[in-house]
Structure 1
């Protein structure tokens, strides 16, 4: 049905596999559109209870696709991309009355981390890595990552959110973000089967309470995030950061 998302229907459980292994499952426009459509169909089905999100190949997701150098400041509508795509996907996961489990099979970067953190549970392989490199492009973390990590992890997340960096699966486990296992997809499916056999309405209502406690203001935050990211997309540093990434060199930022 889709080109870049494999949807594996297993009764009350659905496995969504991001399927661009040659691009480390980068979240290009086509993949995002397919994933949003698949999530909307899943969430509208009363017979569904658990969604499992994973990646094909050796990566979970490398985040937003960066393949074209901007012609100048403002050439890329970062605010529009967030409001009309990334944020919609995030809301389908976080505000769903279903439960979601991430099976992080390899590197998760940028918005790929956001997808994993937005899930209610996450299992990660021992070789998984979590990379925040937004600042190397002259922008800030997006797709709700700042709010979610700050709420879930606290002060330990601030360094990564402010200046970037990466952490291992074991470090992510110590932060409480994932459980490290040998077979993340297998463990995710095993746990999903346990969930569907339990008092699911209680689990679903529990998710509502967690959203009320931790993420009630997520929509308000996302509006601010989109606006600020849009402003950064109009800077010289953003153009320089993307150019440097594509040319595989160190960026020469000016702070403007």
Structure 2
């Protein structure tokens, strides 16, 4: 049914596997469209209770796909991409009455981290890494990552959100974002089965209360994020950052 994601339905549990291993499961336009469609169908199915998101191969997700060099400032509309794609996926996970578990089998970068953090629980392999490299492209973190990490982690996240960097699975566990395990998907399935056998409505309402406490203003935040990222997409630094990435060289930023 889908080209870039695999769907494994197991009664009230569904496994969504991002399936572009040759591109480290980068979130290209087609994959995003398929994932959004699959999440909407899942959320509209009254029999479903838990969704597990994982990646094929050695990565969870490398984040947004970077394959086209901008011909100039403003030639890639980052605001529209966020509003009409990335943000819609994020909200299907975060505002769902179902519960979501991330099974992080390898590197998670950029918007791939956002997918993981948007989930209600996350299990991660010991060799996984989390990479924030938005700034290397001349842009700021997006897909809700600033709000979610600032709320969930606090001051320990600010350095990564401001200037980028990477942290290990153990560091992510110390932040309270994940639980390090030997078999992320196996642990996720085991936990999902425990959830579906429990008082699910209580869990679902608990998620609503968490959203009310922590993420009530997410829509408002995402609107600001999209606008500011759109402005950054109109800068020479964005063109330079993407060009340098594709040409495998160090960017020469000017701050403009």
The alignment's TM-score, normalised by the length of structure 2, stands at 1.00
Summarize deviations over 1:42-101 as a string: whole Å, max 9, x none: 000000000000000000000000001000000000000000000000000000000000
Partner of 2:94: 94
Partner of 1:126: 126
Secondary structure, counterpart of 1:249 in structure 2: coil
Partner of 1:182: 182
Unaligned runs of 5+ in 1: none
Partner of 2:48: 48
The alignment's TM-score, normalised by the length of structure 1, stands at 1.00
Aligned partners of 2:183 and 2:214: how far apart in 1?
29
Secondary structure, counterpart of 2:166 in structure 1: strand
TM-superposed deviation, 1:192:
0.1
TM-superposed deviation, 1:226:
0.1
Secondary structure, counterpart of 1:66 in structure 2: coil
TM-superposed deviation, 1:232:
0.1
Aligned partners of 2:45 and 2:205: how far apart in 1?
17
Partner of 2:10: 10
Q: How does 1:190-209 map to 2 (within 5 A)?
A: 190-209=190-209
Q: How does 1:1-256 map to 2 (within 5 A)?
A: 1-256=1-256
Summarize deviations over 1:112-133 as a string: whole Å, max 9, x none: 0000000000000000000000
Over 6 Å off, 4+ runs: none
Aligned residues: 256
Secondary structure, counterpart of 1:16 in structure 2: strand
Please give the root-mean-square deviation of Cα atoms over the aligned residues, in Å. 0.2
Summarize deviations over 1:174-210 as a string: whole Å, max 9, x none: 0000000000000000000000000000000000000
Secondary structure, counterpart of 2:238 in structure 1: helix
